[in-house]
Amino acid sequence: MSYLIASSLEEALTSLRDGSGKARAVAGATDLYLQEMPYGLVDLSFLKETTVIEEKEGLMSLGAAVTHALAASSPLVLSRARALAEGCAAIGSPQIRNIGTIGGNVINAAPAADAAVALVGLGAKAELVDINRETRTEAVENLYWTHNRSLVDSSKEIMVRFLIKPCLAGEGSAFTRFAARRALALPMVNAAARVKLEKGFVKEVRLVAAPARPAPTRLLKTEELVIGRPVNGETISMVEKAVAEEIEVRGSLLRCSARYRQHLVGVLVASALKTAATRAGTSGKAGD
């Protein structure tokens, strides 16, 4: 077995190519210990490209190897992409958050990964480069193949960074989750919302919930219903109902029944929307 701490993106890509499918890119690798170890590991945790958090030309850039702890406490993430900070703060334990990364959270492809749900809620796009130096940019929700399987092949491709439109004046985001225990527990449901208000009415909105399908699920029909409305009690009740109708969830012995999860998903999406709208309203008034 070999373990390379890559000192440049170039070196990482070369190592992957030399590994001919047997080496794998990692950042954090907290869940890898639960699986069978690949022959070679290429650690991306210390690259400039994968660890940067910055806002340039109206776009936020977050390295894929940014740890959950860093994302949860970054002033930029807290002010411009609050849902991600909240999602990252909810993951596992402090030890996991200090090691695990947001890119890993997406490529690990668990259906209700907290950072991934927040990223989809924010409308994040991932920038990837493969061993032939070809780059592509994809919406995060389009990177899922099936349950717990990513479309990103870590033996051939490296996720470099996420690009997120920052929440500016009149915009807000929020993340919610519900689990049996307050830490170290997979969620029964998690949800994220991003909303833009204009004169108190919803101009743009993204609503996302999980676990339902392999990828965090956008609630397009509910989003449509919300457009043009104020986020008041009536809208919140309407969202609770609409979400439960739009999304189909399953029950499990370990987590909860399908019926209860169906109820929760409505409550959580509505709650995320409400918080996001409050933040949007506040940021507008404060001239943030």
Partner 1 sequence: MILKAPEKNIRRYGKAEGTGYQSPEVWSKVTGKAVYGIDLNLPGMLYGKILRSPYPHARIKKVDTTAAEALPGVRAVLTGAKLESKPFGIAVEDELPLAVDRVRYIGDEVAAVAAVDLQTAVQAIKAIKVEYEELPAVCDPAEALQEGAPQLHDNFPGNVAWQRELVRGSPGDAFTGADLVVEENFTVPAIHQAYLEPISCVAVDDPYTGITLHTALQSPDAVRKIVAGVLNYPLSKVHVSGPVMGGGFGGRVYGNLKVYILSALLAIKSGSPVKIQLTREEEFTAGRPMIAAAIQMKMTVRRDGTILGREADIITDNGAYSAQAPWVSKTVSERNDSVYRIPSIKTRVRLAYTNKIPTGQYRAYGNQAANFATESLIDMAAKKLGLDPLEMRLKNCVREGDITVHGLQIGKCGLDECLKAAAKEIGWDQKKEGRGYGLSVAIHANGSLVFDKNFRGASALARLELDGRITIFTGEQDYGQGTHAAFAQIAARTLDVSPAQVTVESKETKTAPFSTGALAMRQTTIGGKAIQLAAEDLREKIFKTAAELAGAPVTMENGVMCSISGQELALAEVAYYNHSATSGLSMTGEGKFVPEESDYDESGYGNISIAYSYAAHAVEVELDKTTGALTVHRLVAAHDSGRIINHLTARGQIYGGVAQGIGMSCLEGYLFDEGRVANASLAEYKIPTALDLPEIVPIFIEIEDPAGPYGSKGLGEIVMVPVLGAVANAAADAAGVRVTGLPLSAEIIYQAISGWECEQ
> Total residues at the site for partner 1 (CB under 8 A)?
16
Question: Of 59, 169, 180, 220, which lies in the binding site for partner 1, with binding defined by CB under 8 A?
Answer: 180
How far CA 86 is from CA of 9, 92, 222, in Å, comes to 29, 13, 23
Question: If binding is defined by CB under 8 A, does position 98 make contact with partner 1?
Answer: no
Question: If binding is defined by CB under 8 A, does position 259 make contact with partner 1?
Answer: yes
Question: If binding is defined by CB under 8 A, does position 181 make contact with partner 1?
Answer: yes
Question: If binding is defined by CB under 8 A, does position 254 make contact with partner 1?
Answer: yes
Region near partner 1 per CB under 8 A, out of 24-32, 106-114, 179-187, 195-203: 179-187
Q: Which is it for the CA torsion 128, 134, 136, 142, positive or negative?
A: negative
Which residues partner with 127 through β-bridges? 137, 161
| Cα gap 64→126, rounded to integer Å | 8
* Least CB distance to partner 1 at residue 21 (A): 27
Q: Is the distance from CB of 229 to CB of 199 less than 8 angstroms?
A: no
Q: Which is it for the CA torsion 264, 266, 269, 272, positive or negative?
A: negative
Question: If binding is defined by CB under 8 A, does position 185 make contact with partner 1?
Answer: yes
Beta strands (DSSP E) in 80-188 are 125-130, 135-139, 144-146, 149-150, 157-164, 171-178
Question: If binding is defined by CB under 8 A, does position 267 make contact with partner 1?
Answer: yes
Question: Of 96, 139, 178, 288, which lies in the binding site for partner 1, with binding defined by CB under 8 A?
Answer: 178
Question: If binding is defined by CB under 8 A, does position 229 make contact with partner 1?
Answer: no
Question: If binding is defined by CB under 8 A, does position 1 make contact with partner 1?
Answer: no
Residue type, 39: Y
CB of 172 or CB of 266, closer to partner 1: 266
* Least CB distance to partner 1 at residue 276 (A): 18
Tell me the three-class secondary structure of 233-284, residue by residue.
Answer: HHHHHHHHHHHHHHCCCCCCCCCCCHHHHHHHHHHHHHHHHHHHHHHHHHHH
How far CA 24 is from CA of 38, 128, 136, 158, in Å, comes to 7, 15, 19, 9
Question: Of 77, 91, 256, 269, which lies in the binding site for partner 1, with binding defined by CB under 8 A?
Answer: 256
CB of 152 or CB of 269, closer to partner 1: 269
Question: Of 264, 272, 273, 277, which lies in the binding site for partner 1, with binding defined by CB under 8 A?
Answer: 264
Binding mask 128-167 for partner 1 (x = CB under 8 A): ----------------------------------------
CB of 229 or CB of 263, closer to partner 1: 263
Question: If binding is defined by CB under 8 A, does position 183 make contact with partner 1?
Answer: yes
- Bridging pattern class, strands 135-139 and 125-130: antiparallel
Residues that bind partner 1 (CB under 8 A): 178, 180-185, 253-254, 256-257, 259-260, 263-264, 267
